[in-house]
Amino acid sequence: MKGLSPIAVLVAIGAGAVAVLGLWWSNTPVVAGPADWITGAGRITGLLAGYAITVLLALMARVPALERGVGSDRLARWHSMGGRYVVGLAVAHTLLIIWGYAVADGDNVISETVTLNLTYPDVLKASAAVLLLVGIGVISARAIRPKLRYETWFHLHFYTYLAAWLAFGHVLSDGAEFVGDRLASLAWYALYIAVALLLLWYRFLTPIRRAVRHRFVVSRVVAEGPGVVSVHIAGRRLDRLDIQPGQFFRWRFLTRDLWWSANPYSLSAAPRRGELRITVKDLGDHSRSLARLRPGTRVIAEGPYGSFTAERRRRRRVLLIAAGVGITPLRALFESIPAEPGDLTLLYRARGTRDLLFRAELENISARRGARLLYSVGPRSVVGDAFSPRTLSDLVPHLRDHDVYVCGPADMTGRVIPALLVAGVPGRRIHHESFEF
Residue-wise pLDDT for 168-180, tens only, equals 988 888 888 888 7
Q: Which of 141, 153, 411, 142 is CA-nearest to residue 263?
A: 153
Predicted local confidence at residue 300, as pLDDT: 93
C-beta atoms surrounding 108 within 10 Å: 9
pLDDT at residue 147 tops 80: no
C-beta atoms surrounding 181 within 10 Å: 16
Predicted local confidence at residue 12, as pLDDT: 96
Q: Which of 401, 403, 338, 394 is CA-nearest to residue 371?
A: 338
What integer is the mean pLDDT of 327-338? Answer: 95
The alpha carbon of 437 is separated from its chain's Cα centroid by a whole number of angstroms, namely 6
pLDDT at residue 389 tops 70: yes
What's the Cα-to-Cα distance from 230 to each of 267, 278, 325, 336, rounded to whole Å? 10, 6, 11, 19
Confidence class for position 108, pLDDT limits 50, 70, 90: very high
> Side chain identity at 323, as an amino acid letter?
A
Q: For residue 226, is the peptide bond before it cis, meaning its omega torsion is within 30 degrees of 0?
A: no
Predicted local confidence at residue 430, as pLDDT: 95
Q: What is the pLDDT of residues 30-50, one digit of tens each?
A: 888 899 999 999 999 999 999
Q: What is the pLDDT of residues 189-215, one digit of tens each?
A: 999 999 999 999 999 999 899 889 999
CA 96/CA 424 separation, integer angstroms: 49
What integer is the mean pLDDT of 126-135? Answer: 94
What integer is the mean pLDDT of 157-161? Answer: 88
Confidence class for position 259, pLDDT limits 50, 70, 90: confident
C-beta atoms surrounding 274 within 10 Å: 13
Q: Quick one: what percent of the chain has pLDDT higher than 90?
A: 63
What integer is the mean pLDDT of 105-125? Answer: 92
Q: What is the pLDDT of residues 262-282, one digit of tens each?
A: 888 999 998 888 899 999 988
Confidence class for position 2, pLDDT limits 50, 70, 90: low
pTM: predicted TM-score of the whole model, two decimal places: 0.82
What integer is the mean pLDDT of 15-26? Answer: 93
CA 406/CA 414 separation, integer angstroms: 10
Predicted local confidence at residue 436, as pLDDT: 53
Q: What is the pLDDT of residues 284-315, one digit of tens each?
A: 767 788 989 999 999 999 989 888 999 889 99
Predicted local confidence at residue 437, as pLDDT: 46
What integer is the mean pLDDT of 232-260? Answer: 90
Q: Which residues contact 23 (CB under 8 A, 6 or more apart)?
A: 47, 177, 184
Measured distance between the N- and C-terminal CA atoms of the chain, rounded to whole angstroms:
24
pLDDT at residue 422 tops 60: yes
> Side chain identity at 318, as an amino acid letter?
V
What integer is the mean pLDDT of 106-124? Answer: 92
Q: Quick one: what percent of the chain has pLDDT higher than 70?
A: 98
Evaluated on CA atoms 262, 80, 86, 187, the torsion sign reads negative
What integer is the mean pLDDT of 148-173? Answer: 85
Predicted local confidence at residue 435, as pLDDT: 55
Q: Share the mean pLDDT of the chain.
A: 90
